[in-house]
Amino acid sequence: MLPILARALAVLALLVTFGASAAAQSTKTPDDASPRVRMLLDLLADPEVRAWLEKRAADKPKPPPSASDASLSSVVTEQMARVRAQIEGMSAAAPELPDELAKAFDILRLEFEQRSTTHVLLLIGAFAALGFGLARVFWWRTERIRQWIGNLPLHTVGERLLAVLARLAFGLAWLAAFAVGSIGAFLALDWPPLLREIGLGYLMAFVIARLAYVAGTFLLAPGHPRFRIVPMEENAAYFWHRRLVIFVTWFAFTAVSLALLKTLGVSSEARRLIGAATALGLVAIALEAIWRRPSADHAHHARHLAVTWALSAFVVAMWLLRVGDAMPVFWSLLVLVGTPILIRIAGRAVGHLLRPPGTETMAGEVPSVLTVVLERGLRALIIVSAVYLLVRAWDVQIGDLTSGDTVWTRLSRGVASAVVIGLAADLIWRVLRAIIDGKLAEAHGDGPVDEDEARRRARMNTLLPIFRNILAIIVFAVAIMMALSALGVEIGPLIAGAGVVGVALGFGAQTLVRDIISGMFFLLDDAFRIGEYIQAGNYKGTVESFSLRSIKLRHHRGALYTVPFGVLGAVQNSSRDWVIDKMTIGITYDSNIDEAKKIIKRIGKELAEIPDFKPHILQPLKMQGVERFSDSAIEIRLKMMTKPGEQFSIRRRGYAMIKKAFDEAGIKFARPMALLAEGAGADQAAVAAARQAQAKTADAPA
């Protein structure tokens, strides 16, 4: 009878959910029913059985509503009810805690009748000591490897990455030696089940503590600042390394102890009470670390104190949430505070590890593509892990999100997709920006370069900033459109509306459109580059920068012109390829022109041999001949070909050398003269002056 009743309980529970009326209507026995069916119906007709089943159905806990169909108010109400039940259960378990612990010790005593508890603890300590011993032997036998790692150079990024991998491999091997010596030796022997669980649990706690030590040594490297991954001061490295090891060790041993209490039959309420008490140790460790942490911000004591109180309140709030079993809120608060801290630590570690050779920090340096990929990749991994923790904490069903069609599921899918799209767009943009900034840094590099390289660098300085801005607009515009589409927004009408607005703005802002299009064609024609001296209409100066609409010209006297591209017109570029500089000097009529020509030719050769001028003179200074005869001088024309912008200093030196050489050769420079006369002579002089003026006027067009 009892086996039949046990098999039918599940069916009876389902039937009871339809109400007592359905059960009452089932009391009539059909004629063709089997004996087992008749027995089931008889049981349903029994009032005591029906009352017992109804009580079981009422006491059966209802499954919590999933996050996909639960409203915010219901979730909050459920969490408050859970916290209240948790506190009530712990309060009820407190008086019974000594009895439960006594029962647990009785179970241990019965299990270890042949071995005392002290003997068991000594065995666990012996195996832990064996692990430490094997780790010490490994340390001694790998002295050469440690010396090789300690002497590794850390100048370049590749050398630092090699050192990091070598230290990580050595730390894991050291940890494996400890695990083999402790856990491996323990498992090699045959133990009773309970003793095996106890020993294995506490040995695992030792391994976790050693893992925390290895991880802290790998990241903080106390005593070895050249290998430190997370940049900080030496005293801070020692401080946080000790606190990390102590915190993880306490957590590991208390977690193992609570798990063993469950095996020994201690109730969940009593275990939660013990866990809340042991968690006070973690709170004490965290508060001590917060209040005694080393800080470099001594100048802002008030801010340091405010951060300390805020972190202390956070730690206490986390303990209260954990005690109250408000795990969704617990994990949400932990993610909210911990994610920015982890992102900042990861960014500083990557920047310090992949800094350019010869630098101590990344401040002011252009990040490489590897730095950007690793830093943004770690950021994306941290964010995705945080989202996963929140999904698990709030019991969000992934299947419901992918297949459900409620408002909540659609919104959740859209937000998740938007986050992924944002992370991908951020990574793509950062990589592209790192590539362009690297090219710009090369273009701004110091050192002598040839003419072709100088032209290439100038063109890169001109085009790459514009290209970078265009890429930013494209990447973020596409990302925004994709994110809106993922959130369920119809982007087709949005794109069409943006097109209509664009056409309307085009008609209303024709000048702006003309400026932008003119600038594009100026850049495509390579009409000017940054650093070149140009003249357009009444505007002239050195090109300092430009945007999509205008160009900034710095006049040689300091004035800065901002000129729209649309009004530039024809551009005269005085900084391309070469320039011919022509000069005119006047000598007296009794001077030897052939001697003057020889002197100027010699001076041209001397100028071309001066080291400062030699790279810039394309054709040396020479005399072209007599330009014209004036009243008091023979005007001769000189010319030379130089690189753009270099003719001014060469011309000044040439004038000085010509003056000195002419004085030594007796060639005199002409001076303007005025003739004075009186009486009839004055009239004749006036007539002669008038004739000369007419002659100049007649010769002017020629």
Residue 626, pLDDT score: 86
Q: Is residue 501 part of a domain?
A: no
Write the DSSP assignment of 54-96 as a string of letters: HHHHHHSPPPPPPTTT--HHHHHHHHHHHHHHHHHHHHHHTTT
For residue 11, what pLDDT band results from cuts at 50, 70 and 90? Answer: very low
Is 158 in the same domain as 284?
yes
Q: Is residue 382 part of a domain?
A: no
Of 191-205, 209-223, 249-263, 353-367, the least confident? 353-367
For residue 4, what pLDDT band results from cuts at 50, 70 and 90? Answer: very low
What pLDDT, in 10s, does the model give residues 395-432? 766 665 556 566 666 677 777 788 888 888 888 888 88
Q: pLDDT: is 420 or 75 the higher one? A: 420
Domain stops at, among 457, 489, 521: 489
> Where in the sequence is the domain holding 51, given as residue range(s)?
2-59
Report the phi/psi class of residue 499: left, alpha or beta, with left for phi > 0 and alpha for psi in -120 to 50. alpha
What pLDDT, in 10s, does the model give residues 352-404? 888 877 676 666 667 788 888 888 888 889 988 888 888 888 776 666 555 65
Is 166 in the same domain as 115?
yes
What pLDDT, in 10s, does the model give residues 607-644? 888 888 888 888 888 888 888 888 778 888 898 888 88
CB of 136 within 8 A of CB of 310? no
Domain stops at, among 255, 289, 309: 309
Q: Is residue 243 part of a domain?
A: yes
Q: pLDDT: is 336 or 697 the higher one? A: 336
What pLDDT, in 10s, does the model give residues 102-142? 888 887 777 666 666 677 677 778 888 888 888 889 999 89
Q: Is residue 405 part of a domain?
A: no
Of 26-35, 88-97, 322-331, the least confident? 26-35
Strands lying side by side in the sheet with 550-554 = 560-564, 550-554, 539-546, 533-536, 572-573
Is 554 in the same domain as 596?
no
Identity of the residue numbered 191: W
Tell me the CATH number at 643: 3.30.70.100
Domain stops at, among 571, 595, 619: 571
Is 437 in the same domain as 456?
yes
Is 567 in the same domain as 589?
no
Is 140 in the same domain as 233?
yes
What pLDDT, in 10s, does the model give residues 77-108? 776 777 777 777 777 778 888 888 888 888 77
Is 480 in the same domain as 600?
no
CA atoms within 13 A on the CB side of 87: 9
Is 110 in the same domain as 237?
yes
Residue 635, pLDDT score: 87
Q: How many structural domains compose the chain? A: 5
Instruction: Scan for tokens 């948790």, then name that residue.
Output: 86
Is 259 in the same domain as 141?
yes
For residue 449, what pLDDT band results from cuts at 50, 70 and 90? Answer: low
Tell me the CATH number at 547: 2.30.30.60
What mean pLDDT is predicted for residues 204-218?
A: 91
For residue 314, what pLDDT band results from cuts at 50, 70 and 90? Answer: very high
Is 154 in the same domain as 225?
yes
Is 45 in the same domain as 105?
no
Q: pLDDT: is 64 or 684 the higher one? A: 684
Is 203 in the same domain as 257?
yes
Q: Is residue 695 part of a domain?
A: no
Q: Is residue 98 part of a domain?
A: yes
Q: Is residue 88 part of a domain?
A: no
Task: Name the average pLDDT for the chain.
Answer: 78
Q: Is residue 678 part of a domain?
A: no
What mean pLDDT is predicted for residues 478-502?
A: 76
